[in-house]
Structure 1
């Protein structure tokens, strides 16, 4: 058992060193996909469980802030965490400015929080269809790029972003079943072994580097700051520019998806603080697709109630 554990850690270090050599900052991960090193400030009182230090103290244990491409630094991190079975790659860092698009799965007969799916499972049709719909609606094509297969049957699509552009982490904001890892987040690297299985490169990914993120997709990943309003020629009532995209998303609904699209769009609008100002426009759009005004208003009211509660934390990909 100990020999197997040491072998797994040795392999994880080897994969991490290879990634670092290619310019990807890495950290050791535990089998739970969390950073393997605990915070050196965990016992300090008065921090409320969160410490502002991001590695300035010089000690390891600051999560993604420990990530490095220096071989000596990588070896030191793994030496301090001999139980590590994988490695994480920091997103948003030079030179690749990595962006991860995580297509989640929902295996038939199981919930997302239930047992793990088989390695042969495919990403849920909802996440694939949602990404295809976004590509069609916003006129972009995903380039040939690195794809990592997850133990649950999902996949991570690796893209590179331009320097100076911050892509935030999000869970389900882009579309149902799609999570995004950007600045401050990390992706589990291929070759890592977790409690649910191994991460591996998809066929054809070996030798590839992350392709540039299409501009139209990048705009979707970097929404305007909350409270920022459209300038001259923008939408009436001072709505943020992304409100137009949400309305178009509702207008593109076919029979069988009208209520779902309206609910999703309304949730995004309320999350970004302009749900009330966009509500009437969403009602009009929903009625044009075939919903009754009563159905549309009830769906938007449900979205308002749901988003009024506290948001849960986004998990690691």
Structure 2
């Protein structure tokens, strides 16, 4: 093994042990971000039930994760090619939830999260943020001990993946084939912040129906228009965005776009501001913005 690889393994072990001191269960990762140890059951006949480490041998992925320094050293000794470490989510005492904001072409996951926070009326808390080599970010949050948050990919919004029970996050200080994961400046000293209740509810919701039956724009639509019309200065954009999101989620967005824009103009927003906010709500909820070309 090259000297640089040995150094990377030594550094990864040091970072992993430091994370374990904070109560975070860790496991060794390879340069591909996958668990470094191969399954001991790779050549076994198909078992009746999957083994999650009950056999006592390492190589069970996230189920190898531990906070015991002796165990962590054993795992890294068995995987001297490891150059990083993973942090298991969903385990006590932190019950970690990872919000993975990706940077795929045409996707601004950070903006999508901000729009979700605005739409659902919660604040994104100050917490640990890990910067990925590709330019993405991992936000560390904590969940209630009696709640199991599932893993998901793109369900909350395009480019936002959630790491929950049975998942793991690449720990800061890990070296991969694309670069090094690092804690964002000013966040290393922070504890993982509690997940906002409104966001937690979103993470626990079942996937939405693909083709919900669109309701008629009746009383609900008139209520949304009144909600926008009664906005005071400082609330106008927020109320319009929230109402437009509700309209599109309920299948009445196209029919309600003009009435909502008119209501917003009566509160003092310009035509351009109103249309831009409604278009943003349409995109956020997966619909074509008003006036967009097919």
The normalised TM-score by structure 1 is 0.67
Matches within 5 A, 1:19-30: 19-30=19-30
Structure 2: distance between partners of 1:148 and 1:62:
25
Shift of 1:3: 1.2
Q: Aligned pair 1:73/2:85, yes or no?
A: no
Structure 2: distance between partners of 1:152 and 1:196:
7
The 8 Å contact of residues 99 and 161 in structure 2, kept in 1 or not, is answered as yes
2:283 paired residue number = none
1:182 paired residue number = 164
Shift of 1:44: 0.7
2:132 paired residue number = 150
Structure 2: distance between partners of 1:104 and 1:225:
20
Structure 2: distance between partners of 1:54 and 1:249:
45
Rg bigger for which structure?
A: 2
The 8 Å contact of residues 30 and 83 in structure 1, kept in 2 or not, is answered as yes
2:253 aligned residue (285, 300, 314) = 285
1:311 paired residue number = none
Structure 2: distance between partners of 1:75 and 1:130:
40
The 8 Å contact of residues 118 and 242 in structure 2, kept in 1 or not, is answered as no
**SS of corresponding position for 1:175:** coil
The normalised TM-score by structure 2 is 0.72
Matches within 5 A, 1:54-65: 54-65=52-63
- Report the CA distance shift for 1:83/1:55 in structure 2 as closer, same or farther (over 3 A): same
RMSD in angstroms over aligned alpha carbons?
Answer: 2.6
1:96 paired residue number = 94
Q: Which runs of 5+ in 1 are unaligned?
A: 109-123, 228-235, 237-247, 266-280, 291-302, 304-317
1:160 paired residue number = 142
**SS of corresponding position for 1:101:** strand
1:252 paired residue number = 244
Q: Aligned pair 1:192/2:174, yes or no?
A: yes
Structure 1: distance between partners of 2:201 and 2:257:
26
Structure 2: distance between partners of 1:172 and 1:288:
27
Shift of 1:226: 9.0
- Report the CA distance shift for 1:250/1:142 in structure 2 as closer, same or farther (over 3 A): closer
Structure 1: distance between partners of 2:19 and 2:191:
11
The 8 Å contact of residues 170 and 181 in structure 1, kept in 2 or not, is answered as yes
